[in-house]
Amino acid sequence: MNLLAVDIGNTDIKFGIFRDGQLTDQWRATGTRTHPEKFSAVLRDSLARTGLQFGALAYTSVVPDIEYVFRKTIQYCYNLPDHRIFAVDPARIQLPLDFSHYPLQQLGMDRLVNACSARLLYPNTDLIIVDFGTATTFDLVSADGVYWGGAIAPGLNTFAACLPEKTAKLPWVDITGKRAEDIGMGQNTIACLEVGLGIGYRGMIKELLKESIEALDTTEFLAVATGGLAEVVLRVCGLETRFQQTDSALTLKGLALLYDYNRLTLSPG
């Protein structure tokens, strides 16, 4: 039976189809900030264009306003019964981590899924999971399976949008096509913005990594980069060597892993 995994983020909806536990197809659609009716249309269109079939759904959402619409649309269009729909709800599912040190009602479900995903993929390892998206989040997991929290910062594009939004003359600068070695101290306004964005963002990530390592009190750890901007940020900031793993599909894989982890507690059928 194919499983559809869906990660509803602040900017995009990420989809993945798993066959026998393997991710075979993935795509994304934009529209999470639209009106619920428009979102429903975006969802139906995206799924219809793929032509892929699935018999179960696992999903997480950081946009509460559209979660109900999402679930009802899936049920209506694909005739999925409730026991074939797996929503990430810490109060209702089994988790492979000890979250007793963090109030779960305050933890974004994407962060929870990333932490669980990394734990199941890389067991008995100190982990630093960094998700580069609309926000950049750090999540820390100890080798003995304890979630220790982390950090939340603006994502690279969110960071870049602040100055043109808050000033009269500073323009939007897109540095996503740059490499770290292309960015030096600026001699014009555009170059100065590139320095502030590229080198400045690199400094923030390096400092947060340093603090994460100190918090885990470890010298042997695995740093995992994920999120839609992961490869861009690592290239622009010259941080490729700071991360041992880069996996843009970590959240989707985590949904499939948590579904499998909990499958014995699901209703039969």
Encode pLDDT of 190-234 as tens digits.
999 999 999 999 999 999 999 999 999 999 999 999 998 999 999
DSSP state of 11: S
What positions carry a catalytic annotation?
110
Q: What is the mean pLDDT of the chain?
A: 91
At residue 261 the predicted structure's pLDDT band, cuts being 50, 70 and 90, is very high
The 3-state secondary structure of 131-143 reads EECCEEEEEEECC
pLDDT at residue 82 in the model: 86
Residue 243: exposure state from Cβ atoms within 10 A (0-12, 13-18, ≥19):
buried
Which residue, among 103, 109, 41, has the nearest Cα to 77 in the 3D structure? 41
Q: Beta strand 222-226 with 127-132: parallel, antiparallel or unpaired?
A: parallel
Domains and CATH numbers, the chain: 3-87 (3.30.420.40), 106-249 (3.30.420.40)
pLDDT value of position 33:
65
Mean pLDDT, to the nearest integer, of 235-239? 95
Q: How many whole angstroms from its chain centre is CA 144?
A: 23
Q: Could you tell me if 96 and 119 are in contact, meaning their C-beta atoms sit under 8 angstroms apart? A: yes
pLDDT tens across 52-92, in order? 888 999 999 888 878 888 888 888 888 888 888 999 999 89
| pTM for the model | 0.90
**pLDDT for 269:** 43
